[in-house]
Chains A and B, each alone.
Chain A
């Protein structure tokens, strides 16, 4: 039965209950009146007859209640009655209800958000047919999956484990549909891509393997549904239309279905183009180069029935070893495993799973802490209400009935809180799924709220309601109506360490743990903004001019690059301009290469001396980027095709290749294809792909000798970005009016490598704040309880002349001891947890006096805030007033 149907049935039952009650009343009334009729006939007056009839009938209410029970099916009636009574009671103490509801709304909301993310990214399989045996191929060493096209074809045709293997790469391309070109993201996919995934077209048709006949042979594209909707306004006649991709004409042959967004969970492309046309679109011809592993981003397929992951991996590794034998110059065997494609295997999947699982655990712990607090609150209330409960017991209510009432109240509060929390999480999630933290990368976080989430939140609410509702049970069961009514609630502070104390210590520990971790993350972030990168991002503006999107090709690219540099250098206030094909620390990935020592003659991959990252840069780049040359010179425009091959290398590469920096300058090495190259300069080491990486060797080649069409202009200036941006745009459009220009300051671009740190810091910070809030209410509850329990004793002490300090020590030493214990435990745990955090946040270290001091101070402040009101109450005890009350 669906939830809606259940609610309808419940309502019908409650309604029937009301009707049955009315009938019961009428039946009993008829009975009494018939009796009165008889008595009247016997000679009594009507009024007297009715009075006698009522007396004879006996306890009307009691029989009514018994009849109701006898009729059966009264569970829902009782529940409705309890709920009505519960709502009335809760409304009478708005502050109590408010605190409970807000606490639950926050904690259940946080749990819902974390659960939704976990569900969307980790638990839920990819939304394609038969995701259970869909795997992608990743190298064991670094979880990377990129391939050369020829290697892919060999793996596809020679393996015996997969039904079929598909491959794709992600590219950026200018798309024109009868208007200005706009920068879009596309997947270039193998012909069998859609058939391997089992995706049916939404409109028209999709690619098939039989369409491919070598490079540039399939001039067609398939639109993604979202792009068709936004860019083509759901044009029903889009199939057959001709569009231009980087100025090349392509025919739209179909539209992919709405729910399909490729095989990556966090990214949705605008369109799909054939992999064999990648060279045509990007201008980089690498299809027939086995050594060029940039051709393919990911390779995946369904396993054949009965084939295990291990068998398939062994199969692929055997092929790879055979390939290395056959092509020693181009193919280096690196063992592979099969992983899930959605998060690029373990590359993102591993850290993300660890992070989200840890968050879920923390959120769960916080909810548990909230339940502990609310449990104490409910227990305190049950103590306050002990007179009410005792009266009800004395009037004959069963203890079961009383407990039921208390549970109903607890679950009611939990449901209200849960509903509010769910509403909040819906808002947060829909914001999150529309979030675009990177201006150049279309992030797609598929965390739209769904029925699973509602179910999970409902379950959490009910379970937590039952959990904290259970805390006062023992108290109620022990209640003895006679003693309570006679002498008021039994008192006497428990000296032993109670369950409640343990819960309080635990939640203070969780709070300290979270606070420590979030401080460590924030400090790490702050440090990473001011550390040594091997370049200086401050005051640097990055400009991406997509030359390939505007149809530049061959020598025209270099000529245009030189014109752009000159144009931007003439802007007043600009001190240096240079280009590079890849900007360090802004895109996440830096292409690599491999080099041989000069004396190596057998240039097979296995003999390579070093695998550095490679940048193709223009003269002036080092000055523009603020990268310090340690020795030698930078490039000049004379280092062109006619001049000898030259390179600038970083210090680490110099030491790896030549043993020392001194020997490196002027030294020779061989590039992958054998070109002898001389080192003319040595630049300081830096960070290239991401902040967490170990020091990497880096090779810089002059763009004149190694052309690159991807052009990032690095502009160093003392002009503010607001003025510099328009100036850059104007100058570039003066050179070519149709050139797509993208501007971003370098510190902004570093948001990409810093993204995991920021997310971690924010998530930990939010959870930490919640935990702090809960700790305050927890300590407050304990302190307030202690003070109210010992008011009498305190009054006597004050009457006997005790000083304020002694009173405070008597009442608050216990809460503070528990606080200290919890904080110490949490601090130790936090220091341990930071080791894990160090994998996500650059320079996250708990061995930082500032962090430790801040945590201790914060916990102390929490304690002071939480005990302030109870302390005031303890100090202002008036012995006379107390005595009068007794």
Chain B
């Protein structure tokens, strides 16, 4: 698929938290949301999502509850907990700092520094 970016190790959790922070979602919905907001640039392997979801639930960052999907299927919905919200803020800050730093490194020209 053209324009598809490799997912960095450890960034899946961040993406999930962000996607869920925009509204209560089921697993498949999270995939769609990530694809949609990244302009289909970031695609998560479908099965790999679930171990990550369970890990986040266990860490108390997400909470899950059963509900009904838009086309009437029983599905498990995830939403952020307070801890998840603050973790998302931290991770976002961290990511931004890292991205700025890496961008600065990559923008360096010969003769600089």
A and B associate: yes
Question: Is the Cβ of A67 less than 8 Å from the Cβ of B73?
Answer: no
Chain B CB within 8 A of A232 CB: no
Question: Is the Cβ of B52 less than 8 Å from the Cβ of A23?
Answer: no
Question: Is the Cβ of A58 less than 8 Å from the Cβ of B71?
Answer: no
B28, B58, B71: which has the most chain A beta carbons within 10 Å?
B28
Cβ proximity bits A48-82 to B, threshold 8 Å, 1 near / 0 not: 00000000111110110011011110000000000
Question: Is the Cβ of B46 less than 8 Å from the Cβ of A67?
Answer: no
Cα A174 to Cα B46 in complex, Å, equals: 91
Cα A433 to Cα B87 in complex, Å, equals: 66
Partner of A71 from B54, B73, B76 at Cβ < 8 Å: B54
Partner of B28 from A24, A34, A70, A71 at Cβ < 8 Å: A34
Flag the segment in A25-33, A187-195, A250-258 that touches B: A25-33
Nearest CB of chain A from residue B104's CB, rounded to whole Å: 35
Partner of B76 from A23, A57, A59, A70 at Cβ < 8 Å: A23
Partner of B47 from A33, A62, A71 at Cβ < 8 Å: A62
Cβ proximity bits A26-47 to B, threshold 8 Å, 1 near / 0 not: 1110110111010000000000
Question: Is the Cβ of B58 less than 8 Å from the Cβ of A72?
Answer: yes
Residue of A nearest to B57 (CB): A71
Cα A35 to Cα B46 in complex, Å, equals: 10
Cβ proximity bits B43-57 to A, threshold 8 Å, 1 near / 0 not: 001111011111101
Partner of B50 from A37, A56, A67 at Cβ < 8 Å: A67
Chain A CB within 8 A of B97 CB: no
Residue of A nearest to B46 (CB): A57
Cβ proximity bits B17-52 to A, threshold 8 Å, 1 near / 0 not: 000000000111000000000000000011110111
Please report the number of residue pairs spanning A and B whose Cβ atoms sit closer than 8 angstroms.
Answer: 64
Residue of B nearest to A27 (CB): B76
Question: Is the Cβ of A67 less than 8 Å from the Cβ of B76?
Answer: no
Chain A CB within 8 A of B75 CB: yes
Question: Is the Cβ of A37 less than 8 Å from the Cβ of B27?
Answer: no
Cα A56 to Cα B47 in complex, Å, equals: 9
Given A26-B74, A27-B76, A34-B73, CB of A63 within 8 Å of CB of B28: no
Partner of A58 from B46, B52, B69 at Cβ < 8 Å: B46
Tally of chain A residues near chain B (CB < 8 A): 24
Question: Is the Cβ of B47 less than 8 Å from the Cβ of A27?
Answer: no
Given A31-B28, A37-B71, CB of A58 within 8 Å of CB of B76: no
Residue of B nearest to A57 (CB): B46
Question: Is the Cβ of A58 less than 8 Å from the Cβ of B47?
Answer: yes
Question: Is the Cβ of B47 less than 8 Å from the Cβ of A60?
Answer: yes
Contacts of A60 in B (CB 8 A): 47
Cα A233 to Cα B75 in complex, Å, equals: 70
Given A31-B28, A70-B52, A72-B58, CB of A63 within 8 Å of CB of B47: yes
Contacts of A62 in B (CB 8 A): 47
Partner of B73 from A33, A59, A69 at Cβ < 8 Å: A33
Cα A26 to Cα B28 in complex, Å, equals: 13
Contacts of A57 in B (CB 8 A): 46-47
Residue of A nearest to B50 (CB): A67
Chain A, interface SS category:
helix
Question: Is the Cβ of B75 less than 8 Å from the Cβ of A63?
Answer: no
Contacts of A71 in B (CB 8 A): 54, 57-58
Tally of chain B residues near chain A (CB < 8 A): 21
List which A183-203 residues lie within 8 A (CB) of chain B: none
Given A37-B71, A70-B58, A72-B58, CB of A31 within 8 Å of CB of B46: yes
Contacts of B28 in A (CB 8 A): 30-31, 34-35
B45, B46, B69, B71: which has the most chain A beta carbons within 10 Å?
B46
Question: Is the Cβ of B47 less than 8 Å from the Cβ of A59?
Answer: yes
Question: Is the Cβ of A70 less than 8 Å from the Cβ of B74?
Answer: no
Question: Is the Cβ of B27 less than 8 Å from the Cβ of A31?
Answer: yes
Cα A833 to Cα B65 in complex, Å, equals: 72
Given A27-B27, A58-B47, CB of A34 within 8 Å of CB of B75: yes
List which A65-121 residues lie within 8 A (CB) of chain B: 66-67, 69-72
Cα A23 to Cα B76 in complex, Å, equals: 9
Cα A667 to Cα B15 in complex, Å, equals: 118
Partner of A63 from B26, B50, B55 at Cβ < 8 Å: B50
Residue of A nearest to B55 (CB): A70
Residue of A nearest to B32 (CB): A38
Contacts of A23 in B (CB 8 A): 76
Question: Is the Cβ of A67 less than 8 Å from the Cβ of B58?
Answer: no
Nearest CB of chain B from residue A66's CB, rounded to whole Å: 4
Cα A158 to Cα B74 in complex, Å, equals: 90
Residue of A nearest to B45 (CB): A58
Question: Is the Cβ of B74 less than 8 Å from the Cβ of A28?
Answer: no
Cα A70 to Cα B61 in complex, Å, equals: 14
Question: Is the Cβ of A69 less than 8 Å from the Cβ of B51?
Answer: yes
Question: Is the Cβ of A63 less than 8 Å from the Cβ of B51?
Answer: yes
Cα A344 to Cα B76 in complex, Å, equals: 73
Contacts of B73 in A (CB 8 A): 30, 33-34, 37
Cα A875 to Cα B55 in complex, Å, equals: 62
Cα A71 to Cα B60 in complex, Å, equals: 11
Partner of A27 from B48, B50, B58 at Cβ < 8 Å: B50
Contacts of A26 in B (CB 8 A): 74, 76
Question: Is the Cβ of B51 less than 8 Å from the Cβ of A30?
Answer: no
Contacts of B74 in A (CB 8 A): 26, 30
Name 29 A/B residue pairs within 8 A (Cβ), A-sorted.
A24-B50, A26-B76, A27-B27, A27-B50, A30-B26, A30-B27, A30-B73, A30-B75, A31-B26, A31-B46, A31-B50, A33-B73, A34-B73, A34-B75, A35-B28, A37-B71, A37-B73, A56-B46, A58-B48, A59-B47, A60-B47, A63-B47, A66-B51, A67-B53, A67-B54, A70-B52, A70-B55, A70-B58, A71-B58
Identify the B interface with A (CB < 8 A). 26-28, 45-48, 50-55, 57-58, 69, 71, 73-76
Identify the A interface with B (CB < 8 A). 23-24, 26-28, 30-31, 33-35, 37, 56-60, 62-63, 66-67, 69-72
Instruction: With A26-B76, A70-B55 given, name 20 new contacts (CB 8 A).
Output: A27-B27, A30-B28, A30-B69, A30-B74, A30-B75, A31-B26, A35-B46, A37-B73, A58-B45, A58-B47, A59-B47, A60-B47, A63-B48, A63-B50, A67-B50, A69-B51, A70-B51, A70-B54, A71-B54, A71-B57
